[in-house]
Structure 1
Amino acid sequence: MAEDKPAVVKEAPPQPSEAVKDVEEEKTAVVPAPEEKPDDSLAITIVEKIEASDERGAVLAKVMTEKRLSLIDAWEENEKVKAEDRAFKKITSVGAWEIAKMTEAEAEIKKKQEDLEKKKAEYAEELKKRIALIRKEAEEKRAQAEVKRGEDVIKAEKKAAKYRSTGLSPVIERRFFRLLGA
């Protein structure tokens, strides 16, 4: 395909009527004349016919060469078209494959995102439950602290009433009990 072609000078192809005449003349030139007395005028015409036959042979060779080159060009063009068709089909199939894979990947990404959103929602719900539990425990501890404070206040009031009734000071009582306990 990448061969250098020699420059061919094309002559106008002979008219169909001339081609028929050339073929008829060639047939007459090929057929030997009957063996009769050679006539000088006949010898000249035979020589002329042979010369015309040589020209015709060159023209026929040239026509055959052109025909062969034309067939080669047609074959080359056909092969190029086939190659382009194969390439187009391959490119089209690659494009379809790409679209299919992209769609598949996008579907997988979407599914993963949905799974992550679901897990995120579940985790958020779990955190809300933990926060509610912590608040409940904190409220219970506050309530216990309030109860304990109330008990301590009542206890302190009782002791203060006792100290008032006995006349002892709370500091003296503590020292006294320490001495007894030691």
Structure 2
Amino acid sequence: MEEEVEKKAGRSEVPKAPPEPENGAEEKIVISAPSKRVAFAADREIINTVENGSGTERDAVLAQVEAEKRLALIRAWEESEKSQAESKAYKKLAITGSWENTQIASVEAQIKQIEEEIEKKKAEQAEKMKIKLVEIHKEAEVKKATIEAKRREDIIKVREAAVKFRTTGYIPRKLLRCFSS
């Protein structure tokens, strides 16, 4: 019966009294080492109460030990589960952070590439506009030169006509149109 109670309490090795010598030889006192399973603070008191106490006291103490053991197991399980949950959360946060950094780097690279393309197009357009300005300037110079050449020709023609009119004494008709009736 006592062994069944000890098995229920999780204590299979309780220190026992040393065996008595059989043939009257010298008594050697042998003390067995306490079990590794005995891990509670008040174990000696519990063992003494179980060995020396009445059946009711023993049952109460064993029930208390059983309850303490159960609570200790529950606490250990709870701590283990909390630790696992925190570990999983930490790993997921690390993965999420890594993913976020990768995505940010990718988007920043795209932005940089777009900015480079825009700068390239801007430079190309600026070059085209400069070429266009040069062409406009050349065309304006040609037009100015043409106009200046035409003006010189007209001045030469007018001088020649004036010399002709002076030599002949003829009055130009275009000048007097407004006076003619």
Which whole-Å deviations, capped at 9, do the CAs of 1:66-107 have from their partners, x for residues lacking one?
A: 000110011111111111111111111111011001100110
- d(CA) in 2 for partners of 1:173 and 1:98? 88
- d(CA) in 2 for partners of 1:68 and 1:156? 128
**Aligned-pair distance for 1:53?**
2.1
Query: Percent of counterpart pairs with the same letter?
Result: 46
Kindly indicate whether residue 15 of structure 2 is the aligned counterpart of residue 13 of structure 1: no
Q: What residue ranges of structure 1 are gaps of 5+ in the alignment?
A: 1-10, 26-48
Kindly indicate whether residue 98 of structure 2 is the aligned counterpart of residue 69 of structure 1: no
Which structure has more relative contact order (CA 8 Å, sep 6+)? It is 1
**Aligned-pair distance for 1:21?**
8.9
- d(CA) in 2 for partners of 1:70 and 1:172? 128
Kindly indicate whether residue 139 of structure 2 is the aligned counterpart of residue 137 of structure 1: yes
**Secondary structure of the structure 1 residue equivalent to 2:43:** coil
Residue from 146, 149, 171 that aligns with 1:147: 149
Q: Which has more helix, going by share of residues?
A: 1
Which amino acid is the alignment partner of residue 110 of structure 2? E
Matches within 5 A, 1:156-175: 156-171=158-173, 175=177
**Secondary structure of the structure 2 residue equivalent to 1:15:** helix
Which amino acid is the alignment partner of residue 47 of structure 2? A
Q: Which residue of 2 aligns with 1:34?
A: none
Q: What residue ranges of structure 2 are gaps of 5+ in the alignment?
A: 1-39
What is the TM-score of this pair, normalised by structure 2? 0.70
Which amino acid is the alignment partner of residue 138 of structure 2? K
Matches within 5 A, 1:1-182: 13-15=42-44, 19=47, 22=50, 52-171=54-173, 175=177
Q: Which residue of 2 aligns with 1:6?
A: none
* Alignment root-mean-square deviation, CA: 2.6
Contact 2:49–2:58, Cα closer than 8 Å, also in 1? no
> Kindly tell me: are residues 101 and 88 of structure 1, through their superposed partners in 2, closer, same or farther at Cα, counting changes over 3 Å?
same
Q: Which runs of 4+ in 1 moved over 2 A?
A: 18-22, 171-175
- d(CA) in 1 for partners of 2:174 and 2:69? 140
**Aligned-pair distance for 1:154?**
1.1
Which amino acid is the alignment partner of residue 15 of structure 1? R
Contact 2:165–2:172, Cα closer than 8 Å, also in 1? yes
> Kindly tell me: are residues 58 and 170 of structure 1, through their superposed partners in 2, closer, same or farther at Cα, counting changes over 3 Å?
same
* Equivalent residues, number: 140
- d(CA) in 2 for partners of 1:172 and 1:118? 61
**Aligned-pair distance for 1:170?**
1.4
- d(CA) in 1 for partners of 2:174 and 2:128? 56
